[in-house]
Amino acid sequence: MTITQVFNHSHTSVMGYFVGHTMAGLAVLLLGFSWSIKHPLRFLGRKSKYSLQIEKLLYWFELLEWGVIGGVGFLGALLEHNVPGGPHFRIYNETTHKFVALNVWQHWTIYTAFSMAGVVGFLTRCKFHIPLGLDYLMFSLALFTEALLFYAHANRMSALDKFSHHILLIPVCSGAVCSLLEVWHRNNPVLELFRNSVFITQGTWFWQIAFMLFGPSRWDQSDPEIYIFTTLCYIWHYGSAVMFLASTYGIVYWVLWMLNGRRVKRIEEMEIQKFNQADAKTYTALLNGSDEE
């Protein structure tokens, strides 16, 4: 189904088809990829010679990060209702006495929750008088909202669609619980790595669902072994996310080690140069003294 067909489909949510799932997965993946650099940089940068520069960089990075979360959430909520064929903020049809496009309202609620979390996170880093930890609490509530609505949404799907969305609840709920723990254990490297791993898995699983259910070669739902294979796919997704995080952690460690080594070498060269200059001045003074005699 093309984007135009998705938009022209009556009361169809943008997320309901291939394009919607891949767009949502891409947004989650981009956030997870940015975390895969930010979290190791924060942890390893504490012992670096560039710790002050890294702290300033991370401050502006987090300000941008939460601003993007709020902006993307607001844009997604706006698009859900205003695409052609959307409900345009109507939830009940008084003529037919039926609800209007509840799937759109469901996704609008998810986008709005993340938008609110982004605004709170942005204002927290703007030094407003906001209780510390409220940003992670709002982010956790947004993930819980996503999980609850996906669970309700999955009950009216086909068997494979329902099963794949129930698997999606694993990384979503894990990220929600982890973010809730970070309210009290802020900047904990273990919690950050775990949240990062399940967030990347959530993004890749959105893509898996898109190709599995709406791709050019849809999976055969009548095959009973397809559910075992789907479970194996999820485990491979998570394992790949862990391997990716391990590699990025190693790259950040190597880059900081190289920078620290170059700085130490440069400091040693400067000290040697100063010593040589001082030694040359002493030697010159001795020669001048001997000439006077």
Mean pLDDT: which of 18-27, 224-233, 278-287 is highest? 224-233
Q: Are 129 and 77 in contact (CB under 8 A)?
A: no
Whole-number Å distance between alpha carbons of 240 and 72: 27
Whole-number Å distance between alpha carbons of 175 and 139: 9
What is residue 261's predicted lDDT score, i.e. its pLDDT? 67
DSSP state of 15: G
Q: Are 107 and 158 in contact (CB under 8 A)?
A: no
What is residue 80's predicted lDDT score, i.e. its pLDDT? 79
pLDDT digits (tens, 9 = 90+) for 1-26: 333 334 444 344 444 577 778 888 89
Instruction: Tell me: pLDDT of 67 over 50.
Output: yes
**Which element (helix H / strand E) includes 259?**
helix 226-292
pLDDT digits (tens, 9 = 90+) for 251-281: 999 988 888 766 544 544 455 455 455 555 5
What is residue 201's predicted lDDT score, i.e. its pLDDT? 96
Q: HSE (CB half, 13 Å, CA atoms) of 282? A: 6
pLDDT digits (tens, 9 = 90+) for 171-211: 999 999 999 999 999 989 999 999 999 999 999 999 999 88
What is residue 7's predicted lDDT score, i.e. its pLDDT? 40
| pTM, rounded to two decimals | 0.81
The tokens describing 36, both together, are 């895969």
DSSP state of 107: H
Q: What is the mean pLDDT of residues 132-138?
A: 93
- Concatenating the DSSP letter of every residue in 9-67 gives STT--GGGSHHHHHHHHHHHHHHHHHHHHHHHHHHHHTTSTTHHHHHHHHHHHHHHHHH
Whole-number Å distance between alpha carbons of 181 and 177: 6
